Amino acid sequence: MERKVILVVEDEVVIAMDLQATLIELGYEVPAIVTSGEAAIAAALDLGPDLVLMDICLSDGVDGIAAAAQITQALDIPVIYLTAYADDDTLARASLTTPFGYILKPFEARELRANIEIAFYKHRFEQTLKENRQWLLAVLNSISEGVAASDASGLIKFMNPVAEAMTGWAQAEAIGRSPAEVFQLVDEVTRTLIENPLLRSLREHNTVYLPDNVLLLTRAGYETPVADSAAPIYNNRGQTEGAVMVLRDSTNQRRMEAQLEHNALHDTLTQLPNRALFLDRLQQAVDRQARSPEFGFVVMLVDLDRFKVINDTLGHLVGDQLLVEVAPRLKASLRSVDTVARLGGDEFAILLDGVTDVTTACYSAERIINELKKPFAINGHDLFISASVGIVLSSIPYGGTVDLLRDADIAMYQAKRQGQGSYRVFNADMHHQAQVLMRREQALTQAIAHNQLRVHYQPIVWLDTQAVASLEALVRWQKPGEGLLSPDQFIPLAEDIGVITHIDQWVLRQACQQLQTWQQMGTGGWGMADGGIVRDAHSTEPSPTIAINVNLSSNHFAKNNLVKIFAGILQDTGLEGHYLKLEITESVFIENAKEAAAMLAELKRLNVQICLDDFGTGYSSLSYLHQFPIDMVKIDRSFIKGIATDTEKLEIVRAIINLCHTLGMAVTAEGIETPRQRDILLELGCEYGQGYLFAQPLDGATITQALQR
Ligand code: C2E
Ligand code: CA
Ligand code: CA
């Protein structure tokens, strides 16, 4: 262990020498003996000893007590006084310098050693205490919370700088005051004073937390939202010594909470209330009506017409900007108490609180429609849109918010059907229609699972030989109680509710399987006789080359797993790709041109052929005929119908056939009902024909039987 260094201050040289010898013998180091107060101060500063042994009575100059005072002020070291006699005055004066001991002369080595060691121990102990205290203060000064402590009687004893800043009170001023005066806390809502947590924790002997929504009033009268707690402080005998309080400025937290709450309930694009908030307000209105039946309200759904077109042609940014600018126009058309919300996409919902008569509701709808008719100037474009509005009055006597929104939706769709820029008020009739529709939707959704779909096959023949070239698979719905429904009665609905893709896939699988079966039944081609299929005795074909045509809704092209699914079906059924012709309509190119082109190219890699159906009815833009990989074109039956009587139709058909041939595509004429129509088409060079003249769509079993004959 390092030896402790002791400075001896003693003006009697003999005693000093003796003392030095004793100390060295005891294991201390004594680098110097000094004889005057001044010398003592200089030597202490110079040597930095661990302890000073100080004679109180020094013969000249400063006495020991004064020298010790100066030394302890400069250096944090213990001093022990040596004295031969001690009058009360001297002792009193000495004790002011907080000495670590007195040794009366003469003394023994043992006594000396005990005193020195006790002084060292005491000094070390005090040092530790002091360090702890400093550490604690540093912590309290650096934390971001305000901390204040009181004594057991509830008077302030301590405040850290944050607490000072929060209250505007300096610690020095606050000490000894009541926390109720320095920390004035009020309830944000009731504005009543709240019992100070420090005092409450002292009273209750327990940790207490601030209630929500508490404001701290600063000395200057400002208000800060605060949170947190106070707790009693116990000494080691378990008695309450005081209390400590921690206060946190919750301004930021509140701001963040408010922002989060706002975000959860508002649409980020338009800043309007979102669906959640709208449903909440609607629920409140429903509840209020339940309590007071004379209260009423109106729900309106506003859907922008043509929004999708704008979005698709001018881009999402323009679309978004348009939605942003629609919001203030909606608001401007309504009272400030009404709620305008964006439910999603281009659909807005409105709640007119307290409106019970239909005239007011219609008037509001008209104002909205007129307001939205005015052009929007966005990105240098003058955009014209219109809106369809569905209105539902709360007087319709059924239930919840979901029903109301659904009814408004039904009315909105009716308005859309009526034409752009109109509104409809929901009525019970619509409800009935909607219910019928809903039941039908449900039934249709389950039609595949309940095995109610059928596939019929209509031959497509070579016009010259009338040999069967292909069979078009046409779906039917065997609906219990309603008989065999034709596709026109359910395909549009299936497209609306999105089950068409499942139906088409099911039909494709059936058709592929069926063709496989027929192919395995034998060789030779098929011919037509009396509206039925027969084995073609004259055929020179060694094996059947009959293909299958399957209709494909344009909805498929909005999904991207189409090709994978089709490849899977071909693989499962073992049908070779080149026997399959997929019939698509022009709408595919209009709705999803880019995706469609890519998917068609991929389909072609499966070796299937692409057939453009109903040609002439749609946009009939000839430009995409060569932009897309189309193998053949089917001329719509509306043209064939008039071909024998209407020269204009005839010329159109001629032009289409010529164009297709120029582009290397084969042509099928649909809906051939008379021999005359067939003959004209033959003359025009049309390759294939389909129609009641040759055969109706037949069910699979009928065809199988005919082939077995
Ligand atoms: P489409 O693709 O134009 O099918 C031809 C339709 O014309 C069939 O009606 C057929 O029965 C009818 N037809 C055939 N020859 C004649 C004729 O000489 N005169 C007249 N007036 N009509 C004739 P169907 O079976 O009622 O199908 C109607 C439409 O439903 C089809 O028109 C097609 O667009 C759609 N469709 C049928 N099956 C499916 C399917 O599985 N998936 C999809 N997506 N659509 C299908
Ligand atoms: Ca077709
Ligand atoms: Ca067709």
Q: Which atom of ligand 1 is nearest to the CA of 693?
A: 18
Compute the 3-state secondary structure of the chain and give helix, strand, coil in percent, each to the nearest 5. Answer: 45, 25, 30
So what's the pLDDT on residue 439? 87
Question: Measuring CA to CA, which residue among 428, 455, 452 is closest to residue 440?
Answer: 452
Distances (CA, A) of 196 to 179, 185, 201: 7, 7, 9
Nearest-angstrom CA–CA distance, 694 and 458: 9
Q: Which atom of ligand 1 is nearest to the CA of 636?
A: 3
Ligand 1 mean position to 474 CA, how many Å? 6
Ligand 2 mean position to 473 CA, how many Å? 8
**Buried b / exposed e across 650-684, counting CB within 10 Å, b at 16+?**
bebbbebbeebeeeebbbbbbbbeeeebbebbeeb
So what's the pLDDT on residue 14? 87
Residues 6+ apart with CB under 8 A from 620: 586
Distances (CA, A) of 104 to 81, 91, 107, 178, 389: 8, 12, 6, 49, 107
* Mean pLDDT, range 115-144, rounded to an integer: 89
> What's the token pair of residue 103?
């040794």
Long-range contacts, 640-649 (Cβ 8 Å, 24+): 640/669, 640/670, 640/671, 640/672, 640/677, 640/681, 640/691, 641/671, 641/673, 643/677, 643/680, 643/681, 644/674, 644/676, 644/677, 644/680
> What's the token pair of residue 428?
């019970």
Residue 375 phi, psi (nearest 5) = -65, 150
Nearest-angstrom CA–CA distance, 208 and 498: 59
> What's the token pair of residue 287?
């509840």
Nearest-angstrom CA–CA distance, 518 and 520: 5
pLDDT higher than threshold 60 for residue 523:
no
Nearest-angstrom CA–CA distance, 635 and 659: 12
* Mean pLDDT, range 584-611, rounded to an integer: 87
pTM tops 0.75, yes or no: no
Ligand 1 mean position to 450 CA, how many Å? 23
> What's the token pair of residue 251?
């301004």
Among 452, 670, 696, name the best residue to mutate to test ligand 1's pocket (greatest count of ligand atoms within 8 A of Cβ): 670
pLDDT higher than threshold 50 for residue 674:
yes
CB 197 within 8 A of CB 178: no
Task: Write the DSSP symbol of residue 16.
Answer: H
Distances (CA, A) of 684 to 197, 495, 582, 676: 100, 36, 25, 12
Nearest-angstrom CA–CA distance, 80 and 52: 6
Cβ neighbours of 690 (radius 10 Å): 26
3 state DSSP class of 70: helix
Nearest-angstrom CA–CA distance, 44 and 72: 10
- Which residue carries 């348009």 as its tokens? 322
Ligand 3 mean position to 615 CA, how many Å? 8
Residues 6+ apart with CB under 8 A from 531: 692, 694, 695, 696
* Mean pLDDT, range 161-187, rounded to an integer: 93
So what's the pLDDT on residue 508? 96
Among 460, 477, 491, name the best residue to mutate to test ligand 1's pocket (greatest count of ligand atoms within 8 A of Cβ): 491
Comparing 59-63, 455-459, 631-635, the range with the smallest average pLDDT is 59-63
Ligand 1 mean position to 692 CA, how many Å? 12
DSSP 303-356: EEETHHHHHHHH-HHHHHHHHHHHHHHHHHTS-TTSEEEEEETTEEEEEEET--
> What's the token pair of residue 705?
């039987």
Atom 8 (ligand 1): residue with closest C-alpha? 474
Number of H helices, E strands in the chain: 24, 31
CB 51 within 8 A of CB 6: yes
pLDDT higher than threshold 90 for residue 2:
no
Ligand 1 mean position to 11 CA, how many Å? 130
Ligand 3 mean position to 698 CA, how many Å? 17
Q: Which ligand is nearest to the CA of 634?
A: 3
Query: What's the pLDDT band for 409 if we cut at 50, 70, 90?
Result: very high
Among 454, 457, 461, 474, name the best residue to mutate to test ligand 1's pocket (greatest count of ligand atoms within 8 A of Cβ): 474
> What's the token pair of residue 43?
């030597």
Q: Which atom of ligand 1 is nearest to the CA of 507?
A: 41
DSSP 153-220: TS-EEEE-HHHHHHHT--HHHHTTS-HHHHSEEEETTT--B---HHHHHHHHTS-EEPPSSEEEEPTT
Instruction: Taking each helix axis as running N to C, give the angle between helix 562-573 and helix 587-604, from 0 to 180 degrees, rounded to the nearest 10.
Output: 50
Ligand 1 mean position to 464 CA, how many Å? 23
Nearest-angstrom CA–CA distance, 501 and 633: 22
> What's the token pair of residue 609?
């052929």
Long-range contacts, 127-133 (Cβ 8 Å, 24+): 127/76
CA gyration radius, the chain: 50
- Distance of alpha carbon 437 from its chain centroid, rounded? 34
CA geometry: angle 177, 182, 187, nearest 5 deg: 135
Atom 44 (ligand 1): residue with closest C-alpha? 553
Nearest-angstrom CA–CA distance, 44 and 74: 9
Ligand 1 mean position to 616 CA, how many Å? 15
pLDDT higher than threshold 90 for residue 239:
no
Q: Which ligand is nearest to the CA of 503?
A: 1
Q: How much of the chain exceeds pLDDT 70, in percent?
A: 97
Q: Which atom of ligand 1 is nearest to the CA of 692?
A: 18
CB 455 within 8 A of CB 474: yes
pLDDT higher than threshold 50 for residue 660:
yes
Q: Which atom of ligand 1 is nearest to the CA of 455?
A: 41
CB 58 within 8 A of CB 83: no
Distances (CA, A) of 352 to 120, 273, 286, 333, 432: 85, 14, 12, 12, 25
- What are the structural domains of the chain? 6-137 (3.40.50.2300), 143-255 (3.30.450.20), 274-426 (3.30.70.270), 449-708 (3.20.20.450)
**What protein residues have CB closer than 5 angstroms to ion ligand 3?**
613-614, 670
Ligand 1 mean position to 643 CA, how many Å? 20
Higher pLDDT, 395 or 672: 672
Q: Which ligand is nearest to the CA of 697?
A: 1
Q: Which atom of ligand 1 is nearest to the CA of 553?
A: 44
Q: Which atom of ligand 1 is nearest to the CA of 552?
A: 44
Question: Measuring CA to CA, which residue among 280, 278, 214, 273 is closest to residue 249?
Answer: 214
Nearest-angstrom CA–CA distance, 427 and 279: 22
Query: What's the pLDDT band for 685 if we cut at 50, 70, 90?
Result: very high
* Mean pLDDT, range 310-314, rounded to an integer: 81
CB 144 within 8 A of CB 162: yes
Nearest-angstrom CA–CA distance, 527 and 538: 9
Q: Indicate the burial class of 385 (C-beta count within 10 angstroms; 0-12, 13-18, 19 or more).
A: buried
Atom 15 (ligand 1): residue with closest C-alpha? 691
So what's the pLDDT on residue 375? 92
Residues 6+ apart with CB under 8 A from 517: 704
Nearest-angstrom CA–CA distance, 154 and 201: 10
- Report residues whose beta carbon is within 6 angstroms of any ligand 1 atom: 458, 474-475, 486-488, 491, 500, 504, 507, 551, 553, 583, 613-614, 637, 670-673, 690-692, 697
Q: What is the mean pLDDT of the chain?
A: 89
Comparing 133-142, 167-176, 461-470, the range with the smallest average pLDDT is 133-142
Comparing 102-106, 265-269, 532-536, the range with the smallest average pLDDT is 532-536
* Mean pLDDT, range 409-416, rounded to an integer: 90
pLDDT higher than threshold 50 for residue 542:
no
CB 116 within 8 A of CB 6: yes
Among 551, 612, 681, name the best residue to mutate to test ligand 1's pocket (greatest count of ligand atoms within 8 A of Cβ): 551
